[in-house]
Amino acid sequence: MSAAPSAKTQQLEDPAVWVDRYGDYLYRFALSRINDTVLAEDLVQETFLAALKSRANFKRQSAAKTWLTAILKHKIVDCIRKRQREKIIDNEEALNRNLEAYFNQDGNWKIHPHKWENNPIQHYEQKEFLDTLFECLAVLPRRIAQIFMLREMEGLQTDEICQAMQITATNCWTMLYRARTGLRNCLELNWFSRNP
Protein backbone atom coordinates (compact mmCIF):
# COMPACT_ATOMS: atom_id res chain seq x y z
CA MET A 1 0.00 0.00 0.00
CA SER A 2 1.61 3.29 -1.09
CA ALA A 3 1.46 6.46 0.97
CA ALA A 4 -0.53 9.47 -0.22
CA PRO A 5 1.61 11.97 -2.12
CA SER A 6 2.91 14.89 -0.13
CA ALA A 7 1.85 18.45 -0.95
CA LYS A 8 5.16 19.00 -2.74
CA THR A 9 4.59 16.05 -5.11
CA GLN A 10 0.96 16.78 -5.96
CA GLN A 11 0.26 18.16 -9.39
CA LEU A 12 -1.24 21.60 -9.94
CA GLU A 13 -4.96 21.23 -10.54
CA ASP A 14 -6.34 21.53 -14.05
CA PRO A 15 -6.40 25.21 -15.13
CA ALA A 16 -9.85 24.63 -16.62
CA VAL A 17 -11.32 24.81 -13.09
CA TRP A 18 -9.49 27.99 -12.01
CA VAL A 19 -12.12 30.41 -13.26
CA ASP A 20 -14.98 28.56 -11.56
CA ARG A 21 -13.10 28.02 -8.30
CA TYR A 22 -11.19 31.28 -7.91
CA GLY A 23 -12.56 33.81 -10.41
CA ASP A 24 -15.05 35.48 -8.07
CA TYR A 25 -12.58 35.62 -5.19
CA LEU A 26 -9.83 37.13 -7.36
CA TYR A 27 -12.26 39.64 -8.87
CA ARG A 28 -13.39 40.83 -5.42
CA PHE A 29 -9.76 41.01 -4.28
CA ALA A 30 -8.80 43.17 -7.28
CA LEU A 31 -11.92 45.36 -7.06
CA SER A 32 -11.31 46.11 -3.38
CA ARG A 33 -7.91 47.55 -4.29
CA ILE A 34 -8.53 49.12 -7.70
CA ASN A 35 -12.18 50.28 -7.41
CA ASP A 36 -12.73 49.89 -11.16
CA THR A 37 -14.87 46.98 -12.35
CA VAL A 38 -13.48 46.78 -15.88
CA LEU A 39 -9.88 47.07 -14.74
CA ALA A 40 -10.44 44.45 -12.01
CA GLU A 41 -11.80 42.03 -14.64
CA ASP A 42 -8.79 42.70 -16.88
CA LEU A 43 -6.35 42.11 -14.02
CA VAL A 44 -7.99 38.78 -13.17
CA GLN A 45 -7.78 37.71 -16.82
CA GLU A 46 -4.12 38.74 -16.94
CA THR A 47 -3.56 36.73 -13.75
CA PHE A 48 -5.00 33.57 -15.29
CA LEU A 49 -2.95 34.08 -18.47
CA ALA A 50 0.26 34.63 -16.48
CA ALA A 51 -0.48 31.53 -14.40
CA LEU A 52 -1.03 29.45 -17.52
CA LYS A 53 2.28 30.63 -18.98
CA SER A 54 4.20 29.93 -15.77
CA ARG A 55 2.55 26.66 -14.70
CA ALA A 56 5.87 24.86 -15.00
CA ASN A 57 7.37 27.22 -12.40
CA PHE A 58 4.69 26.45 -9.78
CA LYS A 59 6.65 25.15 -6.77
CA ARG A 60 3.69 23.24 -5.24
CA GLN A 61 4.52 24.78 -1.85
CA SER A 62 1.19 26.59 -1.64
CA ALA A 63 -2.39 26.15 -2.77
CA ALA A 64 -3.37 27.27 -6.26
CA LYS A 65 -5.56 30.03 -4.75
CA THR A 66 -2.57 31.44 -2.83
CA TRP A 67 -0.37 31.26 -5.92
CA LEU A 68 -2.98 32.99 -8.12
CA THR A 69 -3.52 35.69 -5.46
CA ALA A 70 0.23 36.37 -5.36
CA ILE A 71 0.28 36.79 -9.15
CA LEU A 72 -2.72 39.13 -8.92
CA LYS A 73 -1.00 41.24 -6.24
CA HIS A 74 1.90 41.79 -8.62
CA LYS A 75 -0.52 42.74 -11.40
CA ILE A 76 -2.24 45.25 -9.10
CA VAL A 77 1.03 46.88 -8.10
CA ASP A 78 2.10 47.08 -11.75
CA CYS A 79 -1.24 48.66 -12.64
CA ILE A 80 -0.99 51.25 -9.87
CA ARG A 81 2.58 51.97 -10.89
CA LYS A 82 1.42 52.73 -14.45
CA ARG A 83 -1.29 55.05 -13.12
CA GLN A 84 1.18 56.94 -10.96
CA ARG A 85 3.94 57.41 -13.55
CA GLU A 86 2.68 60.84 -14.56
CA LYS A 87 2.50 62.04 -10.97
CA ILE A 88 5.59 60.51 -9.43
CA ILE A 89 9.15 60.05 -10.64
CA ASP A 90 10.03 56.40 -10.17
CA ASN A 91 13.67 57.13 -9.50
CA GLU A 92 16.00 55.37 -7.09
CA GLU A 93 18.19 58.48 -6.87
CA ALA A 94 15.23 60.48 -5.57
CA LEU A 95 14.64 57.78 -2.95
CA ASN A 96 18.28 58.03 -1.87
CA ARG A 97 18.00 61.82 -1.52
CA ASN A 98 14.94 61.34 0.68
CA LEU A 99 16.81 58.85 2.84
CA GLU A 100 19.74 61.23 3.25
CA ALA A 101 17.35 63.89 4.55
CA TYR A 102 16.36 61.61 7.44
CA PHE A 103 19.72 60.11 8.47
CA ASN A 104 23.16 61.47 9.25
CA GLN A 105 26.42 59.79 8.18
CA ASP A 106 26.37 57.54 11.27
CA GLY A 107 22.92 56.23 10.39
CA ASN A 108 21.19 58.10 13.22
CA TRP A 109 17.98 60.06 12.71
CA LYS A 110 18.42 63.72 11.70
CA ILE A 111 14.69 64.28 11.80
CA HIS A 112 12.83 62.02 14.19
CA PRO A 113 9.60 60.60 12.75
CA HIS A 114 6.27 61.68 14.14
CA LYS A 115 4.75 59.38 16.70
CA TRP A 116 1.96 57.47 15.00
CA GLU A 117 -0.93 57.69 17.43
CA ASN A 118 -3.27 55.69 15.21
CA ASN A 119 -3.59 51.93 15.42
CA PRO A 120 -2.01 50.58 12.20
CA ILE A 121 -4.20 47.46 12.25
CA GLN A 122 -7.34 49.58 12.03
CA HIS A 123 -5.84 51.56 9.14
CA TYR A 124 -4.81 48.38 7.36
CA GLU A 125 -8.41 47.23 7.33
CA GLN A 126 -9.57 50.43 5.69
CA LYS A 127 -9.75 50.43 1.93
CA GLU A 128 -8.36 53.96 1.71
CA PHE A 129 -5.24 52.93 3.58
CA LEU A 130 -4.76 49.95 1.28
CA ASP A 131 -5.09 52.20 -1.74
CA THR A 132 -2.46 54.54 -0.30
CA LEU A 133 -0.18 51.61 0.58
CA PHE A 134 -0.35 50.23 -2.98
CA GLU A 135 0.24 53.70 -4.40
CA CYS A 136 3.30 54.03 -2.16
CA LEU A 137 4.53 50.62 -3.31
CA ALA A 138 4.17 51.85 -6.89
CA VAL A 139 6.51 54.75 -6.08
CA LEU A 140 9.31 52.41 -5.06
CA PRO A 141 11.71 51.02 -7.65
CA ARG A 142 10.23 47.81 -9.06
CA ARG A 143 12.69 45.31 -7.53
CA ILE A 144 12.52 46.94 -4.11
CA ALA A 145 8.71 46.80 -4.19
CA GLN A 146 8.78 43.16 -5.32
CA ILE A 147 11.10 42.16 -2.49
CA PHE A 148 8.92 43.97 0.06
CA MET A 149 5.81 42.20 -1.26
CA LEU A 150 7.51 38.80 -1.19
CA ARG A 151 8.57 39.34 2.42
CA GLU A 152 5.68 41.22 4.00
CA MET A 153 2.67 40.20 1.91
CA GLU A 154 3.55 36.69 0.82
CA GLY A 155 5.55 35.77 3.93
CA LEU A 156 8.61 34.34 2.17
CA GLN A 157 11.80 33.82 4.13
CA THR A 158 15.05 35.59 3.22
CA ASP A 159 16.57 32.54 1.51
CA GLU A 160 13.44 32.06 -0.61
CA ILE A 161 13.50 35.73 -1.65
CA CYS A 162 17.21 35.54 -2.48
CA GLN A 163 16.64 32.51 -4.65
CA ALA A 164 13.61 34.01 -6.42
CA MET A 165 15.27 37.40 -7.03
CA GLN A 166 18.82 36.03 -7.51
CA ILE A 167 20.38 38.30 -4.90
CA THR A 168 22.50 37.88 -1.78
CA ALA A 169 21.08 38.05 1.74
CA THR A 170 22.90 41.35 2.29
CA ASN A 171 21.29 42.84 -0.82
CA CYS A 172 17.92 41.52 0.31
CA TRP A 173 18.16 43.20 3.72
CA THR A 174 19.41 46.45 2.17
CA MET A 175 16.49 46.51 -0.27
CA LEU A 176 13.99 45.68 2.47
CA TYR A 177 15.40 48.52 4.56
CA ARG A 178 15.06 50.92 1.63
CA ALA A 179 11.52 49.69 0.93
CA ARG A 180 10.42 50.17 4.53
CA THR A 181 12.01 53.60 4.75
CA GLY A 182 10.51 54.66 1.42
CA LEU A 183 7.08 53.38 2.43
CA ARG A 184 7.34 55.10 5.79
CA ASN A 185 8.17 58.39 4.12
CA CYS A 186 5.36 58.02 1.58
CA LEU A 187 2.79 56.99 4.20
CA GLU A 188 3.82 59.85 6.48
CA LEU A 189 3.19 62.30 3.65
CA ASN A 190 0.14 60.70 2.06
CA TRP A 191 -1.72 59.05 4.92
CA PHE A 192 -0.69 59.87 8.47
CA SER A 193 -0.35 63.62 7.90
CA ARG A 194 -3.88 63.61 6.42
CA ASN A 195 -5.33 61.37 9.15
CA PRO A 196 -4.09 62.67 12.51
Tens digit of each residue's pLDDT (9 = 90 or more) over 12-67: 677 788 888 888 989 888 888 877 888 889 999 999 999 888 877 776 667 888 88
- Residues 154 and 116 occupy one common structural domain: yes
The H helix count followed by the E strand count for the chain is 9, 0
- Residues 67 and 100 occupy one common structural domain: no
Is the pLDDT reported for residue 86 higher than 60? no
Confidence at residue 9, expressed as pLDDT on a 0 to 100 scale: 43
Confidence at residue 4, expressed as pLDDT on a 0 to 100 scale: 41
Supply φ then ψ for residue 103, to 5 degrees: -125, 150
- Residues 63 and 138 occupy one common structural domain: no
In a domain, residue 118? The reply is yes
Residue type, 126: Q
Q: What is the mean pLDDT of the chain?
A: 78
Burial 88-108 (b: 16+ CB within 10 A, else e): eeeeeeebeeeeeeeeeeeee
Distance from C-alpha of 50 to C-alpha of 55, rounded to nearest angstrom: 8
Is the pLDDT reported for residue 2 higher than 60? no
Domain holding 38: CATH number? 1.10.1740.10
- Residues 140 and 175 occupy one common structural domain: yes
Confidence at residue 42, expressed as pLDDT on a 0 to 100 scale: 92
Is the pLDDT reported for residue 156 higher than 90? no
* Radius of gyration of the chain, Cα coordinates, nearest whole angstrom: 19
The residue segments making up the domain with residue 147 are: 92-192
Cα dihedral 179, 181, 182, 183 sign:
positive
- Residues 97 and 188 occupy one common structural domain: yes
Per-residue pLDDT reduced to its tens digit, 108-143: 777 666 666 666 566 555 677 778 888 888 888 888
- Residues 122 and 183 occupy one common structural domain: yes
In a domain, residue 10? The reply is no
- Residues 98 and 77 occupy one common structural domain: no
- Residues 78 and 114 occupy one common structural domain: no
- Residues 116 and 187 occupy one common structural domain: yes
Confidence at residue 18, expressed as pLDDT on a 0 to 100 scale: 85
Last residue of a domain, one of 39, 68, 84: 84
Last residue of a domain, one of 39, 67, 84: 84
Q: How far is CA 156 from CA 115, 142, 181, in A?
A: 29, 18, 20
Confidence at residue 133, expressed as pLDDT on a 0 to 100 scale: 83
Confidence at residue 123, expressed as pLDDT on a 0 to 100 scale: 53
- Residues 101 and 184 occupy one common structural domain: yes
Distance from C-alpha of 26 to C-alpha of 31, rounded to nearest angstrom: 8
Average pLDDT, integer, range 61-74: 83
In a domain, residue 8? The reply is no
In a domain, residue 2? The reply is no
In a domain, residue 1? The reply is no
Q: How far is CA 169 from CA 39, 147, 157, 172, in A?
A: 36, 12, 10, 5
Contact 122, 192 (CB under 8 A): no
Confidence at residue 65, expressed as pLDDT on a 0 to 100 scale: 84
In a domain, residue 67? The reply is yes
User: Of all residues in the chain, what percent carry a pLDDT higher than 70?
Assistant: 72
In a domain, residue 183? The reply is yes
If you ran DSSP here, which 8-state letter would residue 157 be given? -
- Residues 56 and 110 occupy one common structural domain: no
- What is the domain count for the chain? 2
Identify any residues that bridge with 103 across adjacent strands, giving them in sequence order.
109
